[in-house]
Chains A and B, each alone.
Chain A
Amino acid sequence: MTAAPEMIDESETLLVSIRAARSGDSHAFEQIMVATERRIASLAWHILGDAEEVKEALQETFLRTWRHLHKYDEQRDFFGWLYRIAVNVCRDLDSRRRRWRFLPIEHAAQAQVAEEDFVKKDDVARLMRAIDTLPQKERFAIILRDIEELPTEEVAAILGSSPATVRVQISNARTKIRKLMESGQ
């Protein structure tokens, strides 16, 4: 019974902080960070899977938010807008990390052995590996839809695609994950 009024109260408090932060109140922006940081960190953790990168993503997300806060439309969901920034930041970090994965051959072989040992531990690790092997667009779509449990329309808005495209991406991702899980890789 009290959940709904609390949510309204929370969103109103957030809106007040947003308006204050827009006019340059950094203390209000700190309150926005406190209110949103765990959700953003959770999203970044699901996408990136590395604690240090999550911290980096969190910091960059909030810096971008501060810079572009004047562009935020109050009619839209603030978390959706913030998620979009966070996804873009994670995309940048993820692209950078994947470039760094081209290690020298001897290091790559060692890394692969260590990774394989870890993957054999349990199904969760296999699922994680399966998701990590997906193309970036499918990976982001399935993380936002199935892990963050956002509606398809919102996922599409965050990723800048159409809902139909997101549905196809999610379907492809699920098929690939199922195959990987069944093959035991």
Chain B
Amino acid sequence: MSDFRGPLPLDDRDFAEVRGKVMSNIERRSFAVPISLAAAAAIAFIIILLPQPQIVIPPAHPSPVVVVAQAPPTPLPIPVKAAAHKQPVRKPAVGAPPSDSETQITMNIETADPNVRIIWISR
């Protein structure tokens, strides 16, 4: 049964041809890989060497203390009362006696020492 297709129709020349194709393919790939790696490395090197825009980093300052003023709590709405009536200022009547605030009080306090006497005068 092993000869059901007859003898192998390939000779040494066919095998050499196949081998040659395989080898050329392998060598092409073995060249292609280092070349692509070298190209990638070169590109990376160029990118590193390119003048880059200077990025100025400001010196580190101590961060300013920010005081956040807390807003006072919103006062609850106070129930509006009826506006207080402004008491009209009564003008003193001409010739009237001075009011209590204008009355001068004099206190004469005697101490145990008969030579010392406290006199307190209020206005």
Identify B30's interface contact among A26, A41, A58, A124, CB under 8 A. A26
A37 in contact with B9 given A127-B1, A128-B4, A146-B1 (CB within 8 Å): no
Q: Given contacts A30-B19, A34-B19, A45-B8, are A149 and B14 in contact (CB under 8 A)?
A: no
CA distance A168 to B9 in the complex (A): 32
Q: Find chain B residues with CB under 8 A from A127 CB.
A: 1, 4
The reply on B18 being an interface residue by CB < 8 A is yes
Whether B26 contacts A55 by the Cβ 8 Å rule is no
Say yes or no: B9 contacts A62, CB within 8 Å. Answer: no
- Measured CB to CB, the nearest residue on chain B to A21 is B26
Interface residues on A, range: 20 to 34
Task: Check if B6 sits within 8 Å of A24, measured CB to CB.
Answer: no
Cβ of A59 within 8 Å of any chain B Cβ, yes or no, is: yes
A164 lies within 8 A of chain B by Cβ:
no
Interface residue B22 (Cβ < 8 Å from any Cβ of A): yes
Give the chain B neighbours of A38 by CB distance below 8 A: 8, 15
Beta-carbon contact of B25 and A63 below 8 Å: yes
Chain B residues with Cβ below 8 Å from A24 are 30
Least CB separation from B9: chain A residue: A51
- B9 — which chain A residues lie within 8 A by C-beta? 45, 51, 54
Cβ contact within 8 Å between B30 and A45: no
Closest residue of chain A to B25 (Cβ to Cβ) is A63
Q: Which of B1, B2, B6, B14 has the most CB of A within 10 A?
A: B1
Report the interface size class on chain B. Answer: 20 to 34
A97-135 interface (Cβ within 8 A of B): 124, 127-128, 131
Is A42 interfacial (CB-CB < 8 Å)?
yes
Find chain B residues with CB under 8 A from A128 CB.
4-5
Say whether A37 contacts B18, CB under 8 Å: yes
Contacts of B18 in A (CB 8 A): 33, 37, 55, 58-59, 62
Known: A37-B15, A59-B18. A26 touches B8 (CB 8 A): no
Task: Tell whether, in the assembled complex, residue A66 and residue B4 are in contact, meaning their CB atoms are under 8 Å apart.
Answer: no
CB-CB contacts of A34-73 with B at 8 A, as 1s and 0s? 1001100110011001010011001100110010000000
Measured between beta carbons, the chain A residues less than 8 angstroms from B21 are 59
CA distance A38 to B8 in the complex (A): 9
7 contacts between A and B (CB under 8 A): A45-B5, A55-B14, A63-B25, A63-B26, A66-B22, A124-B4, A148-B2
Give the interface of B toward A (CB within 8 A).
1-6, 8-10, 14-15, 17-19, 21-23, 25-27, 30
